Amino acid sequence: MNTGIGDAINLAWKLADVIKGDAPDSLLDSYEAERPAFARKLVETTDRAFTFVTAQGSFAEFVRTRIAPLFMKVVYSFEAAREMMFRIVSQTMISYPESPLSVGTAGKVSGGDRLPFVRLDGTDNDGTDNFEPLPKIGWQLHVYGEAKPELAAWCEKRGVVLRVFGWNERYAEAGLQRDAAYLLRPDTYVAVAEPSADAATLENYFRERGLGNVSSQLTHKLPT
């Protein structure tokens, strides 16, 4: 189910942009570069697990009923292992580093990564998080620290939502770089991680991919 939802979200925003004339048909090609590889890997893994569960014979039965439960109990006792298992099942570990829509690295975050989840400072931002939903689904730009005036001007010109979060050291622990610019796709994956927060780099990204009509989207800026 998670895979189907992920496929639908990945394709839906691209289809919407193309249908509205906000992007060229070539945007749809990125679906093939992003989702099928994971789907093939998932099918192979599921097939191996099914083969193990349904294997016949006394040895297979012994491993399945005696060894496997003991092994899983030991593994699950480690917090890092539990976190990894959650990320695998929830599919939050999926990234698109090879996608034509993924560019740059800032801090430990690269284009194609899922945006790191961070809690915001309660006194500044009402104790919410950086995944707080927008009034309207669309492209958005995150800055953790201070945003350059030219970035704000670029966002206003392009109609990209600008979200500025006052810096907190917790953000560095999550892999985010202070004052860098993170351009997020409508599905909240990082499209561009720009360490210098250069507006020209973001403009080139849009122009090279024919994303020239997103100005119909709502502009919104959070308090710093």
pLDDT of the residue at 124: 47
**φ/ψ (deg, to 5) at 150:** -65, -25
| 60 and 115 part of one domain | no
Which of these three, 32, 63, 90, is where a domain ends? 90
Reported in sequence order, the residue ranges of the chain that DSSP labels E, i.e. its strands, are 105-106, 109-110, 140-144, 161-165, 181-184, 190-194
Instruction: Please tell me the total count of domains within the chain.
Output: 2
Whole-structure pTM over 0.85, yes or no? no
61 found inside a domain:
yes
| 81 and 145 part of one domain | no
What's the chain look like in SS3? CHHHHHHHHHHHHHHHHHHCCCCCHHHHHHHHHHCHHHHHHHHHHHHHHHHHHHCCCHHHHHHHHHHHHHHHHHHHCCHHHHHHHHHHHHCCCCCCCCCCCCECEECCEECCCECCCCECCHHHHCCCECCCCCCCCCCEEEEECCCCHHHHHHHHHHCCEEEEECCCHHHHHCCCCCCCEEEECCCCEEEEEECCCCHHHHHHHHHHCCCCCHHHCCCCECCC
**φ/ψ (deg, to 5) at 145:** 135, -120
pLDDT of the residue at 57: 74
- The yes-or-no verdict on residue 48 having pLDDT over 70 is no
Which of these three, 33, 65, 90, is where a domain ends? 90
Per-residue pLDDT tens digits for 4-13: 788 888 999 9
- The yes-or-no verdict on residue 14 having pLDDT over 50 is yes
Over range 105-128, report the average pLDDT: 82
Tracing tokens 């020209």 back to the chain, one arrives at 200
Over range 178-191, report the average pLDDT: 96
144 found inside a domain:
yes
Kindly calculate the radius of gyration of the chain based on its CA atoms and give it in whole angstroms.
Answer: 21
186 found inside a domain:
yes
| 110 and 196 part of one domain | yes
Over range 171-195, report the average pLDDT: 96
Domain with residue 190: its CATH number is 3.40.30.120
More confident residue, 66 or 178: 178
182 found inside a domain:
yes
pLDDT of the residue at 45: 57
- Rounded to whole angstroms, the Cα distance separating 15 from 27 reads 8
| 12 and 40 part of one domain | yes
| 172 and 143 part of one domain | yes
More confident residue, 222 or 74: 74
What is the residue range of 139's domain?
Answer: 105-216
Which of these three, 66, 90, 114, is where a domain ends? 90
Are 25 and 18 in contact by the 8 Å Cβ rule? The answer is yes
147 found inside a domain:
yes
| 61 and 143 part of one domain | no
| 152 and 56 part of one domain | no
More confident residue, 136 or 172: 172
What is the residue type of 142? H
- Rounded to whole angstroms, the Cα distance separating 59 from 137 reads 53
pLDDT of the residue at 118: 92
| 119 and 55 part of one domain | no
| 15 and 83 part of one domain | yes
| 156 and 180 part of one domain | yes
More confident residue, 136 or 10: 10
| C-alpha pair distances (Å), 42 with each of 83, 141, 154, 173 | 19, 32, 40, 30
| 190 and 117 part of one domain | yes
Per-residue pLDDT tens digits for 147-160: 999 999 999 999 89
**φ/ψ (deg, to 5) at 186:** -60, -20
